[in-house]
Amino acid sequence: MALTLEEVRHIARLARLRLTPEEEQRYTEQLSAILDYAARLQQVDTSQIPPTATVLPLRAPLRPDEPRPCPPRERLLANAAQQQAGMFRVPPVLDQEP
């Protein structure tokens, strides 16, 4: 299950990773190997098994719809690279993505 260089570049772009040509090459090999490894699972016959999102016998716990006080805004903004007027300030986004 070999990935192409183009696919790796596409995935990197979606993940906002800037890869050097060497890295692109290396990850193409490594990711292909990982997929090959995972592909072994495909050999197991699962036609009789329902799709499984978790192997734990869990059901999502639910919480009552009760509002709780929020932490002070300053605390949440403290880690922002930039802030302004009580908001997070980010590089310009106008419909087009970077």
Partner 1 sequence: MTASTYEAVIGLEVHAELLTRSKMFCGCPVVDSTQAEPNTAVCEICTGMPGTLPVINQRAVEYALRVALALRCQVAETSVFARKNYFYPDLPKGYQISQYELPLAQQGWLSIDVGSGEQRVRVRRVHLEEDTGKLFHREGYSLVDYNRSGVPLLEIVSEPDMHSVEEVKAYATALRSLLRYLEVNSGDMEKGVIRFEANVSVRPSGSETLGTRTEIKNLNSFRALVRSIAFEIERQSRLLDAGKTVVQETLGWDEVRGVTLSQRSKEEAHDYRYFPEPDLPPLHVSAEWAERVRAELPELPDARRARFRERYRLTPYVASILTAERAIADFYEDALAAAPQVSPEKTANWISGELFALLNQAALDIDACRVTPRALGELVSMVESGEISAASGKAVLAEIFQAGGRPQDVVRARGLAQLNDPQEIERLVERVLQENPQQVQQYLDGKETVSQWLFGQVMRAARGRANPRVIREVLERALRSMEENPPTA
Q: Applying CB under 8 A, which of residues 5, 13, 25, 46 lies at the interface with partner 1?
A: 13
Q: Taking the complex as a whole, how short is the minimal distance between the CB of residue 41 and partner 1, in angstroms? A: 15
User: SS3 for 94?
Assistant: strand
83 phi and psi, to 5 degrees? Answer: -140, 160
Task: Give CA–CA dist 51/54, Å, rounded.
Answer: 9
- Report the residue number, 22 or 93, with the smaller CB distance to partner 1: 93
Position 7 contacts partner 1 (CB under 8 A):
no
| Burial class of residue 75 (count of CB atoms within 10 Å of its CB; 0-12, 13-18, 19+) | exposed
Q: Which residues bind partner 1 (CB under 8 A)?
A: 10, 13-14, 16, 51, 53-54, 56, 58-68, 70-71, 73, 76-77, 79, 82, 84-97
